[in-house]
Chains A and B, each alone.
Chain A
Amino acid sequence: MVAKIAEQPFTVANIPLDSWSFAIRVWLAMILALFVSFWLQLEAPATAAVSVGIIAEPTRGQALDKAGFRLLGTVVGVTASIAITGLFSQTRDLILAAFAVWIGICVFAANVLDGYRAYAAVLSGYTVGLIAIQQIDNPQHVFESGVARGAAIVVGILSMAVVSTLMSAPDRQPRLMVQLAAIRRRVREYACATSHEASGNSTTFVTLLREIVALRPEISSVALESSSGSVRSVAARSAVVGLVAELQAARISQRRDVEIEASAWAARELLRRDEEVRQDLLALRSARWPLRAWRAPLNRSYKNAAESGVRAVIWFAIAATFYTWAGWSAASASLFLVALITGLGATTPNPRGFTVGTLVGAPIAIALTGILEFIILNGADAFPVLAIAMAPFMIGAAVLMKSQSPLWSSLGRVNLMFIPVILAPSNPQTYNPQSFLFTSFFLVAAAALLLASQTLIPPVSNDKRRMRLLADARKELQEPATHQNGEAPEEAMFRDASRIGQFLAAGGAQDSRALAEMLACFDQAAMLRLCDAKLMQLAEGPLAPLADEARAAIVKRDAVALRSIALRLRQPSPPKDSIEADVAACLVLTSDILDRGGGVDSPREAS
């Protein structure tokens, strides 16, 4: 009974209470930001409101994290604006070309980063559009405009921080703990299931792997939540890396047809990993340092990122050429929107889908803003009236954003961002229908033009992305197992897991052949690294020559030699859980995986 009540959150009008409280927080923070900006007589009060709309994240840590990166991205963007304006003053075409290249660089950076770091990268890209391009005819105002924007963003961030603190916005950390514990339970269930059923269930494995890797960007948000946050964040990161290692150990232990010693070692290894994760989770719960702090490196696919960057440059160049040729004096505003949509699209797996979403969402935001500005407010100049009139729109959009359905959620986010952009609250409000029409027209025109360029030159296809990721995995496997910049085997395993996550994000679940090869590469690489790490333990003792021999066999991927070395290690019949027995079991499992996985020299049918 109690469990049933706990499962069903309290709802008002069929919407959970925490969605309502989130929406009301966003609205309050936006009103506070506008009030402070009006009171301080900032030049760009609308930017403060838009900032609140953008950093509206359900938990306090995420909002603060995104806010920090928004500030950082703005600083980089303003610096780049000043540099670009200074270098190419009085030369319009060169400024546009430099801006296109800068957008390309930022899209590249966004593709090799994840989470809010990627957002900061694209933000520093389109900030240049807002500052240098909008002031293209009066470059002496670039610095002022940058400072005005920075001040407004700071006001927006502080309003959000104060409102979410005073209204007790939920923390990310308790939920993260529940998620990690649930994943650990499922990994154990997976291990039990695989030891009963002979056929390995790789769908479960892939699902778990994807869920674990998806937590990575959110872990750093925990650091900002309290004074113990950074310790908790380190513990959570170690737990996540440990979970991948445990999952891999579970996968290894499912091999039924290996010799009994090796299988016993695999089971012991699984238990050890499970215990490590348990310790990390305990450390997370009680805010202690974990036993060892692992980093969680991200796989960076530079080729994919570079190609995305080049395509973004071309899209922007097409749009800029069109606007220059059309010769509208106000087109710079629209060009900024092209940069904005290009940039934000680069942080999603499907850039063209994002443009389509904007093209659909923008008219809705325009209609709603029209109703708000010319029917509800219609000339009102009192601040309380503005605050009350904005409430249904902002609260509605924020509630939509928290919806489970991705369509409604993205529609809510677009409205939360574009309603303040189009309304552009200022003191006094001008209620100029012409500027409203121009802004609306340019917004739709920017989305339509970008969609046209993206149809002409499509974004990097999922097939190509997957092929590159697979090629990266193969290439890394061919290289001898080396400790890259002091990476532990577990950390390298996490990096490989993040590659599988990227592979799945590029529609890898449908491509079962390539997925199987990806998993084979993951298994082999993980086992080879573990083996190498185990052999390091023998490097000091009397068995050092044998360890060297084993390492050479690993480099040659010689399964037969590995087996014979394992036999020789077991010659003096060492005690059951000595290092020698462990290494021998590890070598046997590695040779087994090398045999069955077909290794890197298997026929490459998947490509």
Chain B
Amino acid sequence: MARAFSELIVGGVLFAPFVTYLLTALVVIIVLRPLLHVVGFAKMFSHTAIAELSLYVAILGLLILLF
């Protein structure tokens, strides 16, 4: 069954629903950053950058799946 995604409308300009998810995931990552620092996320992985990108993709996927 197809899911209906609502479009983001800013001042009459329509944005693709995916843009909303991209931005929301970015906001979630920014909010999570202090927490990740406390947990020591950066020290857990040899390639921190890839780990953080993967976390972003995981959050993006979850957002699309759940909302």
Which A residues are closer than 8 A to B by beta carbons? 60, 147, 162, 164-166, 168-169, 171, 225-228, 230-231, 287
Contacts and interface: CB of A to CB of B under 8 A. Distances in A.
Interface in B1-46: 13, 32-33, 36-37, 40-43
Interface of B: 13, 32-33, 36-37, 40-43, 47-50, 52-53
Contacts of B40: 228
19 contacts: A147-B13, A164-B49, A165-B52, A165-B53, A166-B53, A168-B49, A169-B49, A226-B41, A226-B42, A227-B32, A227-B33, A227-B36, A227-B52, A228-B40, A228-B41, A228-B43, A230-B37, A287-B37, A287-B42
B6 to A, nearest CB: 20
Given A147-B13, A287-B37, A228 B42 contact: yes
A282 B26 CA distance: 30
A162 B53 contact: yes
Nearest to B49: A165
B53 A228 contact: no
Nearest to B36: A227
Contact of B47 (A168, A225, A227, A231): A168
A2 B50 CA distance: 30
A165 B43 CA distance: 17
B39 to A, nearest CB: 9
Contact of A226 (B13, B32, B49): B49
B49 A60 contact: yes
A491 to B, nearest CB: 25
A509 to B, nearest CB: 39
The 7 tightest CB contacts between A and B, nearest first, are A227-B36, A226-B42, A228-B42, A165-B49, A226-B48, A165-B53, A228-B37
Contacts of B49: 60, 164-165, 168-169, 171, 225-226
A169 B52 CA distance: 14
A209 B32 CA distance: 37
Nearest to A288: B37
A494 B3 CA distance: 57
Contacts of A164: 49
Contacts of A166: 50, 53
